[in-house]
């Protein structure tokens, strides 16, 4: 480790700070922003709690919460080591969605401990973004928080990845003239991302979706499934496939990799002609793009140095911006689907094999996703504005 590297220079002192939005020039300003003037605002909120959204930053700020157990490709590195990533997430919220965010790294890993801690912190925030929490606890934590909080709770490793994946797949279908409903999809990985991708693809009307883990296809007859995988088995794999990833990829139209490992070239070659290969493991894709392009019509990865990066930053800033804009009480499946459709539509008329998802720096992305999510929240009955 060389702390003289530019990356360490950039991180020295952290990547973010709190900046006031009001001037503090003299005693008059001080008396308005703090005592005695602030007491009037406090009393008003005590009488009418909903005013907290108008007279504090609550409706503009998200808690980015982690326990440091599944950080990027680093795994369980603990809360302190996760903070640079959480700071990075917070500045992405601000840069791409105009949403303020606060990194919160917790020194506990128990489901109940995390849930109780976040519930107690929730009055300060308009939404909760769960980040880098290992499966299957991430599912339990999200479900428990959704049941107890009336603000949006969103596990980005699941739903952000799923939204961008669906958008890319929709555009790949548009580009090649293939209906989503005709596709047979194989997902490698039954963790947070794999489960969420399967769910959103089924919701969107994909033809058939099979998910594999280390023991092969997830199906109802297996006796080793946890509760999450049992639920997954109930709504995927309509074809009743069994066996290994390699066996079920034969003839498949789509491969989505969110597990790591390597898929041999001969297995890729056995997929359907003009397939779609989204090999998203970082830093090493399950199928190298040079190999994938020999057989696939569209190739995507999770890396920024190849075309078609499946990058969560295309989704989560706009999703939260839209939800906060209407003071949504939750982020629903309809809102996620709307986000994916809006993201795909950004490239209408501009599609190419190496351009089925926009750049994170495309200024059209966040406004499109924000507007679509806000409209979907209103239609779904979870908007309070």
Q: What is the pTM of this model?
A: 0.96
Q: How many residues in the chain?
A: 385
pLDDT of residue 2: 65
With a cut of 80, say whether residue 3 has pLDDT above it: no
pLDDT, mean of residues 73-95: 95
What pLDDT, in 10s, does the model give residues 288-319? 999 999 999 999 999 999 999 999 999 999 99
Res. 260: pLDDT tops 90: no
Rounded to an integer, the average pLDDT of 37-46 is 98
Residue 143 has pLDDT above 90, yes or no: yes
Strands (E), the chain: 61-66, 100-105, 127-130, 153-155, 184-188, 208-213, 216-217, 254-257, 275-279, 296-301
Comparing 6-155 with 156-385, is the CATH topology the same? yes
Burial class of residue 190 (count of CB atoms within 10 Å of its CB; 0-12, 13-18, 19+): buried
From first CA to last CA, the distance across the chain in angstroms is: 50
pLDDT (average), residues 133-140: 95
Average pLDDT for 321-342: 98
Statement: residue 4 has pLDDT above 80: no
Q: Are 241 and 212 in contact (CB under 8 A)?
A: no
Q: What is the pLDDT of residues 190-211, one digit of tens each?
A: 999 999 999 999 999 999 999 9
Separation in Å, CA 80 to CA 73, 75, 83, 90: 16, 13, 6, 16
Known active-site residue 295: no
User: CB of 129 within 8 A of CB of 142?
Assistant: no
Residue-range domain boundaries for the chain:
6-155, 156-385
Active-site residue flag, 89: yes
**Omega prior to 204 cis, within 30 of 0:** no
Partner residues linked to 254 by β-bridges = 185, 276
Closest to 353 measured CA to CA, from 307, 319, 305: 307
What span, in angstroms and rounded, lies between the C-alpha atoms of 132 and 140? Answer: 14
CATH number of the structural domain 156-385? 3.40.50.720
Q: If one looks up domain 6-155 in CATH, what number appears?
A: 3.40.50.10380
Q: How many CB atoms lie within 10 A of CB 123?
A: 11
Q: Which two tokens stand for residue 372?
A: 């679509």
Mean pLDDT for all residues in the chain? 96
Of these residues, 55, 58, 89, 235, which one is catalytic?
89
């Amino acid at each position: 480790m060389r702390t003289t590297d530019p990356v360490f220079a950039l991180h020295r002192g952290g990547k973010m700070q709190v900046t006031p939005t009001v001037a503090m020039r003299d005693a008059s300003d001080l008396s308005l922003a703090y005592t005695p003037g602030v007491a009037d605002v406090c009393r008003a909120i005590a009488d009418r709690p909903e005013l907290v959204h108008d007279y504090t930053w609550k409706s503009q700020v998200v808690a980015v919460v982690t326990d440091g157990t599944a950080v990027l490709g680093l795994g369980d590195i603990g809360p302190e080591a996760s903070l640079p990533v959480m700071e990075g997430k917070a500045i992405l919220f601000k840069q791409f969605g105009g949403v303020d965010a606060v990194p919160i790294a917790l020194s506990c890993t128990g489901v109940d401990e995390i849930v109780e801690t976040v519930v107690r912190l929730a009055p300060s925030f308009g939404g909760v973004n769960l980040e880098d929490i290992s499966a299957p606890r991430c599912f339990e934590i999200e479900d428990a928080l959704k049941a107890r909080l009336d603000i949006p709770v969103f596990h980005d490793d699941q739903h952000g990845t799923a939204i961008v994946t669906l958008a890319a797949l929709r555009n790949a279908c548009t580009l090649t003239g293939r209906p989503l409903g005709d596709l047979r999809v194989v997902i490698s990985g039954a963790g947070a991302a794999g489960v969420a991708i399967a769910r959103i693809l089924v919701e969107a009307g994909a033809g058939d979706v099979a998910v594999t883990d280390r023991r092969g296809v997830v199906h109802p007859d297996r006796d080793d499934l946890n509760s999450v995988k049992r639920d997954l088995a109930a709504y995927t794999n309509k074809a009743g496939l069994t066996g290994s990833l390699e066996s079920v990829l034969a003839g498949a139209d789509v491969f989505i990799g969110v597990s790591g490992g390597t898929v041999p070239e001969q297995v890729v070659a056995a997929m359907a002609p003009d397939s779609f290969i989204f090999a998203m493991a970082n830093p090493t894709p399950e199928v190298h793009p040079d190999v994938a392009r020999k057989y696939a019509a569209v190739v995507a990865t999770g890396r920024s140095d190849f075309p078609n990066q499946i990058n969560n930053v295309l989704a989560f800033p706009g999703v939260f911006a839209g939800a906060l804009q209407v003071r949504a009480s939750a982020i629903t499946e309809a809102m996620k689907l709307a986000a994916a459709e809006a993201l795909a539509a950004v490239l209408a008329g501009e599609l190419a094999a190496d351009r089925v998802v926009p750049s994170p720096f495309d200024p059209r992305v966040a406004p499109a996703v924000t507007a679509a999510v806000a409209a979907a929240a209103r239609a779904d009955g979870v908007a309070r504005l």
